[in-house]
Structure 1
Amino acid sequence: MTRSPTAKLDIIEALRFFAAMSVVFVHIPTVRAGHFGVDAFFIISGFVMMLSTRVSGEQFFLKRLIRIVPTYWLFTLGVFAIALVLPGLLNNTTANVEHLLKSLAFIPFDKNGAGHLPVLFLGWTLNYEMYFYLVFAIALTISHRYRAPLAALGIFAVWLIGAGSDSFPLQVYHNFIVYEFVLGMLVYLLLAERSLDQAAMLVAILLLAAALSDDSFAHRFYIFGLPAAVLIALALIMFADKTLPPLLLTLGGASYALYLTHPYVIQVFDKVTHWFSGTPTQQMLALVLSLVLVNLLAVAVYLLLERPLRDHLRRKLLRPRRQTRDATG
């Protein structure tokens, strides 16, 4: 990988779009395929956290909060309002204030017996993301240079504690899926820094966790996570010297909004048209139109809400970057 960090982030934006689209296909009634998208997101997150802190970890956690929290909170409150006013539109979500507060605080809970599902049900992945950000931020404060192995050790330690815990959040963090963040950091160390010593530390932690795990090789880490890590690494290598289309980068920027909103768009579209259960022609039209609609809404949310709000909060909350090498971080 010879291009600038900005170019690498361009590639990541494209990968985020494809990961989000794979999750979209999971929720299309006539497709139901693409489950590896979530795993790809976690691996991408591990890579990006390393890349974005390559020079400095200054204000890292605040930057991640600004990136993730505002849009998620707005849509979580929107879903809660629907549960309050039109509860029949939702399946397992009720207007439970405790559930709302835990969702906004990224605290895992069992939603009405349905398992680890916040008010906005896809927020379960964001609970893992925020957990990883917190562990990574702690690792950064201890040592910038060794942030990857320290973060991996932190994940491993919490994972061990969760094995025998009655705490629902700790049980959630005991899911082997947490090691997909470690895979992302490993991809960064191998491709961007070529740090074989630290990469070896991460591999050792992964192997030790696998040896201690009571999960079978049917766990999604092995079925989806490992192949996704290889595909992401190959994409980073193959497109390191390519200029990507602006439209693809815009769609990549809108991938977060796409991820949060698409299930509800598809659900409303299906309730209005019933085409997903109609004739083959109607099913094909439903597929095409729903894909167009979810992406149009996502881009609109990104350009009109998410990006302006994020930029405003950055100006208000972040300290100006120093005119030194830290400015590149």
Structure 2
Amino acid sequence: MPARQPDLSTPTEYTARRLVTIQVLRGIAALLVVFHHVQEQSPQFKAIWPTEAGQSGVDLFFVISGFVMVYVTRDRERTPTQFLAMRAIRIIPIYWFYTLCATFLMLALPQLFRSNELSVRHVILSLLFIPHYTEAAGTSPIVKQGWTLNYEVFFYVLFAIAMAISVRRRVLLAAAVLSLLVAAGFSLQAAEISLGTADFYLKSIILEFAFGMLIAQIYLAGVLRRITPAVGFGLVFIGFISLFLLDPLYSAGTRAAVYGVPAAVIVVGALAIENREKSLSVPILQFAGDASYSIYLVHGFPIAALRSIWKHGPFPLSGLGSFLLFLSVSFALSVAFGGLSYKAIEKTSLKFLRKRVARYL
């Protein structure tokens, strides 16, 4: 007798045991990205702490994403179509909402958008998660940090295809394809051959999904239970320190090694702690983790508005004191607006769509 399909209206992320530590890491990843974007508001801010390591929050997100996709599909009978449907209703509605918000704001307040393009082509391709180039924004979509979602969607589709071929071998198949794509990218770069925007999918950063998937495999096999909490905390500390120490070696070609490997070490350490029935439970970071997707999408709006206010207010866009104040207010506004977005838009749309999609799949 075939196994019964699980109720699709049940949130996949919460059906499996909820990993508090992973949520905390999501919150930290979101705040790292906020830190990175605050630095970019002023050359003087950048000079205070000239590091690019804040962008490693993206790499931490990617490792976690690879882990979560394997973790939430363990021992489940969902089809690849069902898997993709659940991922689609998770990421698309709120991303489209903020893409359209940014489009209307570009019409009404163009001064808030220093480097973006308002065109029908740019809007449509951004909504469809298709990498493309514009003169003003480069390869960034309307919501600039949405470039990472182009990778996420690609990974979801690849993972679903791997599931369709073999659920048991989905990790091996997906990891093999990711590795081959990166190898092809290095080969083409060495030969000085460019495939245009297709090069987007040949960057070393996509290996970070493979790191996360492999971590999930060893976690589910119980291997991480052998690591003591003290070692787990040590790995988390070493991982975060490494993000900043290795930062000078960062480039597009070294990203997986410079940021991805430390991010993987952080995730392993956090899971080792979780395995001992403890967690890195910090309420504000756990809340930021729950709202991390909304924070990631929305934080550019308050930071852009804050920069405009700062520019015409009593505080200069220079100096350590001004930077720390700008950063603190940016953190507070990003978490506040992200939390509001999470509660009012993200959770509401997810609850509404799950029940309706479940009727057809």
The aligned counterpart of 2:239 is: none
| 2:323 match: secondary structure | helix
Alignment CA distance shift 1:140-1:229 (3 Å): same
- Aligned ranges 1:86-101 → 2 under 5 Å: 86-101=109-124
Note the aligned Cα RMSD (angstroms). 2.6
Amino acid across the alignment from 2:265: V
Indicate conservation of the 8 Å contact 1:92/1:111, yes or no.
Answer: no
| Conserved 8 A contact 2:89-2:354 | yes
Per the normalisation by structure 1, the TM-score is 0.83
- 2: distance between equivalents of 1:319 and 1:147? 27
Aligned to 2:272: 237
Opposite residue 307 of structure 1, the aligned amino acid is K
**Aligned partner (choices 216, 219, 224) of residue 191 of structure 1:** 219
For 1:119 and 1:23, the matched residues in 2 are separated by 17
Q: Does 1:261 align with 2:301?
A: no
Give the partner amino acid of 1:146: R
Cα distance in 2, alignment partners of residues 280 and 159 from structure 1:
40
Q: 1:50-75, CA deviations, whole angstroms, 9 ceiling, x for partnerless residues?
A: 00110224311111101111010000
Which residue is 1:27 aligned to?
A: 37
Correspondence 1:252 to 2:280: no
Q: Distance in 1 between matches of 2:73 and 2:292?
A: 22
Find the counterpart in structure 1 of residue 255 from structure 2: 220
Aligned to 1:71: 94
CA offsets 1:155-189 (integer angstroms, 9 cap, x no match)? 23444566657543421001111111000011111
Whether contact under 8 Å (1:270, 1:276) holds in the other structure is no
Residues 276 and 231 (structure 1), Cα distance of their counterparts in 2 relative to 1, 3 Å cut: farther
Give distance in 2, aligned partners of 1:233 and 1:138.
Answer: 27
Aligned equivalent of 2:332:
292
User: C-alpha distance in 2, partners of 1:320/1:98?
Assistant: 32
Q: Deviations over 1:9-51 (max 9, x none)?
A: x322111111111111101133565221110010000000000
Structure 2 residue 343 is the aligned partner of structure 1 residue 303 = yes
Task: Select which of 133, 138, 145 maps to 1:115.
Answer: 138
The residue number in structure 2 matching 1:39 is: 59
CA contact (8 A) 2:28 2:285 kept: no
Shift of 1:113: 5.7
Does the C-alpha gap of structure 1 residues 82 and 217 become closer, same or farther in structure 2, counting only changes over 3 Å? closer
> Please, which runs of 5 or more residues in structure 2 have no aligned partner?
1-14, 40-44, 224-249
What is the identity percentage for the equivalent residue pairs of Structure 1 and Structure 2? 36
Asked if the contact 1:117–1:123 (Cα under 8 Å) also holds between the matched residues in 2, the reply is yes
Match of 1:170 in 2: 198
C-alpha contact 2:98 2:143 (8 A) present in aligned 1:
yes
The letter for the 2-side match of 1:26 is H
Q: 1:193 offset after TM fit, Å?
A: 2.4
- 2: distance between equivalents of 1:297 and 1:113? 27
Q: Which one-letter code corresponds to 1:291 in the other structure?
A: F
Unmatched segments (≥5 aa) in structure 1: 196-214, 322-329
Contact 1:99/1:118 (<8 A) preserved: yes
1:315 maps to 2:355: yes
Q: Separation in 2 of the partners of 1:138 and 1:54? A: 16
2:231 is aligned to none
- Tell me the distance in 2 between the aligned counterparts of 1:223 and 1:157: 20
Find runs of 4+ consecutive structure 1 residues off by over 6 angstroms: 215-218
**Residue deviations 1:172-223 (CA, integer Å, cap 9, x gap):** 001111111000011111222259xxxxxxxxxxxxxxxxxxx989611111
